[in-house]
């Protein structure tokens, strides 16, 4: 009998979802959705490279070759071989990065700030005299005295774990050692030739970027990005905070996922930097939004969710890396940047640091666009910030054919004379449309009169058609996709985008009004973040999201938060500056800003 069922399958973290007929393997579903999994054996179930994880839903029975190929741990975590498994209901599937045949675009590059090397971690080579009957001082005393005599450094304590191995290390290294000191504490004792490395992390809601830095030269040895594994617990911060608040078990899992990501980053970064080892990492700096910060430390989150959205901790925090299970140097610390408010965290501070915002002489607006968008207006050294709930539309979520910036995503688009031209990431076959493409599409539809100022889609264009819920504009038709489902922008998508862009425009307007400024008074707009780097500024101006000022006043700086985290890693001065600035920033809660509703309603319009 022919199986006529079909199921919705959502592929995370790509953000791709579509309807697939029953009876085709998940490997083929992935191909139909427009992306490829590694499949060295061609789908025979023998290479074990097409691993995916079933997050929810029912699938076909586990086969013997899957039992043979997957580890017990993978099986317990519901990993399956995509070529051997079939949907039996709607599914949510997690695609690990290593199973993708082409990597997802993860922004790690940014404009490096010029910061003098002055890390909190200092290293010294020390030669000690061996004890004798006439000099039977303890090993710790002997080390403190040698440091003071040879380098003028006064140390007051030794990390507990370093202390446990100190006597053995001194003797095995023949009394010639490299000592790493943080403030006045010895955090590592190593062979003379060992390196002092640091890891800077931008802990984003969707993506996590990491940088391995040589603390003696400030050189970035490697940089990489991974998806935040918390994503299966919710696309935005509020969803994850709510899970953590409702269930202590979910709170623990969310913390474990962040820590797992930091551990993965440390290993991957070392692998990319030839010969580096995680135990050479002596300091980690993490810049994250307040929610990611609280979930990482498993701090209470109830007061973050409820108005007036107060962080449990706003000042910078230092914790021992091992206390949260990170395997780096024994005495290494994790330094978390301060938080400004419930929804403006250390990542925004890091961005402001990277662009040296407080040095701006004329009005500067700094915008970090993401699921949550943070905006600061800097004027005569004063910084005022807001947070806008822009939602996950920029990541392609809640958009009918939206997807993340992965191979096959349409990232730029042009409509002229009824002809559509688009560009896909890696030049792959079109699979969906990502944030920058969605904005281009919206702007092009406005410019071509397909959408009016109120966002209403007009009939009459050959690419506009009716669907079940209203009109839609066809970007890639079924025929152009060889029978695959069409890629469209629907009337509902337009409404979703209007809300997202209005949230950002409202934040900008409220900040300007507060200082009695208008758009034209802004001297510089700095746009940061992965989405912000690929966004076509003129499209964002066309749809009324960004101020209509000359393009020359805009600067796209890439992952500035990551660069700011690196600055804090290599410079004690930068670390102190961030802490001082965090106390001085004024935060405005948008919801209680005068005329908020009126401003938001005006911002919905597409000019």
The residues that touch ligand FES, with contacts defined as CB under 6 A, are 39-41, 43, 45-50, 81, 83
- Least separation in angstroms between residue 44's CB and ligand FES is 6
Is the Cβ of residue 85 or residue 557 nearer to ligand FES in the bound state?
A: 85
343 backbone dihedrals φ, ψ, rounded to 5°: -125, 20
- Least separation in angstroms between residue 81's CB and ligand FES is 5
Is the Cβ of residue 81 or residue 213 nearer to ligand FES in the bound state?
A: 81
Is the Cβ of residue 48 or residue 484 nearer to ligand FES in the bound state?
A: 48
Is the Cβ of residue 80 or residue 105 nearer to ligand FES in the bound state?
A: 80
* Cβ-Cβ contacts under 8 Å for 471 (sequence gap 6 or more): 457, 459, 464, 465, 490, 491
Q: Which residue has the tokens 């702007």?
A: 443
- Least separation in angstroms between residue 90's CB and ligand FES is 22
Is the Cβ of residue 40 or residue 416 nearer to ligand FES in the bound state?
A: 40
Is the Cβ of residue 87 or residue 457 nearer to ligand FES in the bound state?
A: 87
Q: Are 265 and 226 in contact (CB under 8 A)?
A: yes
Q: Are 442 and 417 in contact (CB under 8 A)?
A: no
Q: Are 10 and 16 in contact (CB under 8 A)?
A: yes
- Least separation in angstroms between residue 8's CB and ligand FES is 23
Cα–Cα distances in Å, from 504 out to 305, 308, 498, 559, 581?
Answer: 20, 20, 10, 19, 23
- Least separation in angstroms between residue 42's CB and ligand FES is 7
Tell me the C-alpha distance between 285 and 575, whole Å: 10
Tell me the C-alpha distance between 451 and 79, whole Å: 44
Q: Are 49 and 38 in contact (CB under 8 A)?
A: yes
- Least separation in angstroms between residue 24's CB and ligand FES is 14
Is the Cβ of residue 28 or residue 536 nearer to ligand FES in the bound state?
A: 28
- Least separation in angstroms between residue 48's CB and ligand FES is 5
Is the Cβ of residue 69 or residue 104 nearer to ligand FES in the bound state?
A: 69
10: helix, strand or coil: strand
- Least separation in angstroms between residue 6's CB and ligand FES is 23
309 backbone dihedrals φ, ψ, rounded to 5°: 55, 70
- Least separation in angstroms between residue 96's CB and ligand FES is 13
* Cβ-Cβ contacts under 8 Å for 434 (sequence gap 6 or more): 395, 396, 402, 403, 404, 405, 406, 409, 410, 411, 425
Is the Cβ of residue 82 or residue 349 nearer to ligand FES in the bound state?
A: 82
Is the Cβ of residue 44 or residue 219 nearer to ligand FES in the bound state?
A: 44
- Least separation in angstroms between residue 65's CB and ligand FES is 8
Tell me the C-alpha distance between 545 and 442, whole Å: 11
In b/e form, how buried is each residue of 418-449, taking b as 16+ CB within 10 angstroms?
eebebebbeebbbbbbbbbbbbbbbbbbbbbe
Alpha helices in 273-366 (DSSP H): 290-297, 302-305, 346-354
């Amino acid at each position: 009998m022919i199986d006529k069922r079909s199921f919705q399958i959502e592929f995370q973290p790509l953000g791709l979802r579509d309807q697939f007929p029953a009876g085709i393997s998940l490997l083929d579903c992935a191909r139909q959705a427009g992306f490829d999994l590694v499949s060295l054996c061609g789908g025979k179930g023998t290479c074990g490279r097409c691993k995916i994880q079933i997050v929810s839903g029912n699938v076909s029975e586990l086969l013997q070759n899957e039992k043979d190929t997957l580890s017990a741990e993978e099986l317990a975590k519901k990993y399956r071989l995509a070529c051997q498994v079939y949907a039996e209901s709607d599914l949510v599937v997690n695609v690990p990065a290593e199973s993708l045949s082409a990597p997802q675009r993860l922004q790690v590059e940014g404009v490096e700030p010029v910061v003098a090397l002055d890390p909190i971690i200092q290293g010294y080579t020390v030669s000690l005299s061996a004890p004798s009957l006439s000099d039977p001082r303890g090993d710790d005393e002997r080390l403190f005295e040698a440091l003071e005599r040879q380098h003028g450094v006064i140390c007051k304590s030794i990390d507990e774990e370093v202390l446990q191995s100190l006597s053995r290390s001194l003797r095995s290294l023949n009394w010639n050692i490299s000592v790493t000191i943080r403030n006045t504490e010895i955090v590592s004792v190593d062979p003379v030739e060992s390196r002092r490395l640091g890891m800077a992390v931008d802990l984003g809601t969707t993506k996590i970027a990491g940088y391995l830095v040589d603390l003696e030269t400030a050189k970035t040895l490697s940089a990489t990005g991974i998806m935040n594994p918390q994503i299966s617990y919710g696309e935005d911060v509020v969803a994850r905070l709510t899970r953590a608040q409702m269930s202590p078990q979910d709170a623990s899992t969310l913390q474990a996922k962040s820590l797992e990501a930091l551990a993965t980053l440390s290993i991957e970064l070392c692998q990319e930097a030839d010969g580096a080892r995680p135990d050479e990492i002596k300091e980690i700096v993490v810049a994250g939004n307040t929610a990611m910060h609280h979930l990482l430390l498993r701090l209470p989150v109830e007061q973050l969710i409820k108005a007036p959205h107060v962080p449990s901790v706003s000042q910078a925090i230092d914790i021992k890396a091992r206390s949260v299970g990170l395997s780096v140097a024994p005495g290494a610390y994790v330094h978390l940047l301060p938080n400004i408010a419930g929804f403006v965290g250390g990542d925004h501070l890091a961005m402001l640091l990277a662009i040296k915002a407080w040095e701006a002489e004329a009005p500067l607006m700094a915008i970090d666009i993401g699921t949550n968008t943070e905006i600061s207006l800097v004027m005569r050294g004063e910084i005022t910030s807001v947070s806008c709930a822009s939602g996950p539309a920029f990541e392609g979520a809640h958009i009918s054919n939206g997807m993340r910036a992965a191979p096959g995503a349409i990232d730029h688009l042009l409509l002229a004379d009824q002809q559509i031209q688009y560009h896909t990431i890696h030049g792959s076959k079109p699979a969906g449309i990502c944030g920058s493409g969605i904005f281009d599409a919206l702007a092009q539809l406005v410019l071509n009169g397909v959408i009016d100022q109120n966002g209403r889609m007009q009939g009459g264009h050959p690419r506009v058609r009716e669907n079940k819920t209203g009109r839609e504009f066809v970007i890639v038709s079924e025929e152009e996709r060889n029978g695959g489902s069409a890629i469209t922008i629907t009337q509902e998508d337009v409404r979703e985008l209007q809300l997202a862009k209005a949230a950002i425009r409202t934040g900008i307007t409220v900040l300007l009004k507060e200082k009695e400024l208008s758009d034209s008074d802004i001297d510089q707009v700095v746009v940061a973040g992965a989405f912000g780097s690929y966004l076509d500024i003129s499209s964002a101006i066309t749809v009324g999201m960004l101020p209509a000022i000359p393009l020359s006043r805009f600067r796209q700086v890439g992952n500035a938060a990551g660069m700011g985290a690196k600055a804090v890693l290599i410079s004690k001065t930068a670390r102190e500056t961030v802490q001082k600035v965090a106390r001085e920033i004024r935060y405005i809660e948008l919801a209680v800003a005068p005329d908020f509703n009126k401003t938001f309603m005006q911002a919905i319009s597409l000019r």
